[in-house]
Amino acid sequence: MNKKNMEIVASVGSVVLLILLFAVAHQMRNSFPQEYGFIGSLVVFIIAISVVGLKLNEMQ
């Protein structure tokens, strides 16, 4: 898979990941405050796209 295709897959995948994380945070709102779930989702999302970005940068 070339770099351009990998970037497209990573972009779509990151959006799907964020939607899933928000859905999980919304479903677990009785376990902890919903705001913490959304903040945690954003933290996981930022870490995930950072790792993907670093890996894409290493690709040739």
Domain spans in the chain, listed from the N-terminal domain onward: 3-58
pLDDT on residue 43: 95
pTM: 0.82
Can you give 1-60 as a three-state secondary structure string? Answer: CCHHHHHHHHHHHHHHHHHHHHHHHHHCCCCCCHHHHHHHHHHHHHHHHHHHHHHHHHCC
Q: What's the chain's average pLDDT?
A: 90
Residue pLDDT, tens place only, 12-23: 999 999 999 999
The residue-averaged pLDDT of 37-60 equals 91
